[in-house]
Structure 1
Amino acid sequence: MHALIVGNSDGIGLALTRRLIDGGWQVTGLSRSPAPVGDHRVVDVTSPDFPRALSEIDNVDLCVYAAGIGDTLTDDFTAQTRAIEVNLLGAARTVEVIVPKMLAAGRGHLIGLSSMADTLISADAPGYAASKAGLSAYFLGLDAALRPRGVAVTTVRFGFVDTKMAKSPVTPFRIPTEKAVDVLLTCVRKRPALVSYPRRMAALTGVLGPALRLAARSKPFFGTR
């Protein structure tokens, strides 16, 4: 089995790469920094070279989009634009190249790492929240369209994960990176359309979502990668 992981030089992507290799998978990784394991190619998802690098990879059974960034808002809005480019447009460019090959083969599985920030309007990190809202909506729509044709699409909404992306000083229900990988490996086996983990955090954001949106100025964002 062949897996493509976009964004596997650190965090969840790197941990998943290691676990898949241990499980007998062939893994190809793409990220802007070198990765210490697997067949890896250095390319930024916002680069014009990214689609070409993707096009050189064939026979993909599983594609995981794990690339992600997020920075707090300042008077320089460049970081917000880049968050949208990496978290959402990079995923869309991956879909554009990889999914047609899966459809031609009549099989495949695409997983996108989203966030529970997709339900928030964040004054702290608006680019991050917007990109994750777009990613969740896009991948859920893709699943409805593609699953009947043999290609499953899974949206995974994490809360706080113990990676460099969890920048808030308060991180309730924070989970270790390896637990996040456990969740992803379950998704690989079962191919659900949507997973939100941890469930207590999902319940909290679901119940308090409207209040959190009203109080967005004082709320930190949820980082996953």
Structure 2
Amino acid sequence: MRHACVIGNTDGIGLALTRRLLDEGWAVTGLSRRPAAVEHDRYVHVAADVTAPGYAAELTRALDAAGGADLCVYAAGVGEFLDLDNLAAQTRIIEVNLLGATRTADVVVPRMLAAGSGHFVGLSSLADAMITPMAPGYAASKAGLSTYLISLGAAVRPRGVQVTAVRFGYVDTKLALGPVKPMMITVDRAVDVLMRCIRTRPAVVSYPRRMAALIRAVSPLARTQARLKRR
């Protein structure tokens, strides 16, 4: 039986993905700070905080109990607007969104390499190409995450392990901040995209495509990146 590990599945995309995987016959281990609203004979939940010192040990024990993982999806994420009186909140965003993902990969990817197979998926964002004074921690965390996942994927692919960076735009979750949310998609649609990624294992997915194209056109960072590539 195929086994998936979903990090950050209390709500939103992580919870919906957990349910979809169970519906399709996977066994799932979920890790999040709070319990997930899932009851299934193929589901095990582990309470864990990706920023806690003992997180790697908790994840290791969960994988040992499950006999490994064919798939690991890092869906944990936080975000909030900048408050100049509380810059520590922006640092926490980076800790959860970026460092939590790399700490997860520290544990999961070596196991996959030893097995010669496996798929690591990280939920990034189209905000990875933006420079925004409203949410610098979020944009920075997603820029780092996308770069890390794409680079790691190139390194491990020859050894049978795939890594996918999924760059979503606005999804109808608590992280969809702001008064204007263009081209926002439903959680179910986001899960559809993820399930297709799990089947096809691409290096990068940007969705919605029209929004990704628009960001490439208008983002100063994206234009700078494009100029550097041409040099």
Structure 1, unmatched stretches of 5+, are: 214-225
Distance 2:221 2:199 in 1: 36
Is residue 171 of structure 2 the alignment partner of residue 166 of structure 1? no
1:46 paired residue number: 51
Is residue 35 of structure 2 the alignment partner of residue 14 of structure 1? no
Is residue 120 of structure 2 the alignment partner of residue 110 of structure 1? yes
2:29 paired residue number: 28
Name the CA shift for 1:23/1:211 in 2 (closer, same or farther; >3 Å): closer
Q: Higher RCO, 1 or 2 (CA under 8 Å, sep at least 6)? A: 1
- Aligned-pair distance for 1:121? 1.2
Name the CA shift for 1:39/1:120 in 2 (closer, same or farther; >3 Å): same
| Identity over aligned pairs, percent | 62
Distance 1:20 1:139 in 2: 22
1:185 paired residue number: 195
Distance 2:47 2:68 in 1: 20
- Aligned-pair distance for 1:178? 0.2
- Aligned-pair distance for 1:212? 9.2
1:55 paired residue number: 60
Cα deviation code 1:82-124 (max 9, x no counterpart): 0000000000000001111000000000000000000011110
Partner-residue secondary structure (3-state), 1:14 = helix
1:72 paired residue number: 81
Partner-residue secondary structure (3-state), 2:219 = helix
TM norm structure 2: 0.90
* Runs (4+) off by over 2 Å: none
TM norm structure 1: 0.93
Counterpart code for 1:158: F
Structure 2, unmatched stretches of 5+, are: 224-231
1:84 paired residue number: 94
Distance 1:212 1:26 in 2: 39
1:124 paired residue number: 134
What pairs up with 1:129-144 in 2 under 5 angstroms?
Answer: 129-144=139-154
Count of aligned pairs: 214
Instruction: State the Cα RMSD in Å.
Output: 1.4
Cα deviation code 1:8-31 (max 9, x no counterpart): 010000000000000000000001
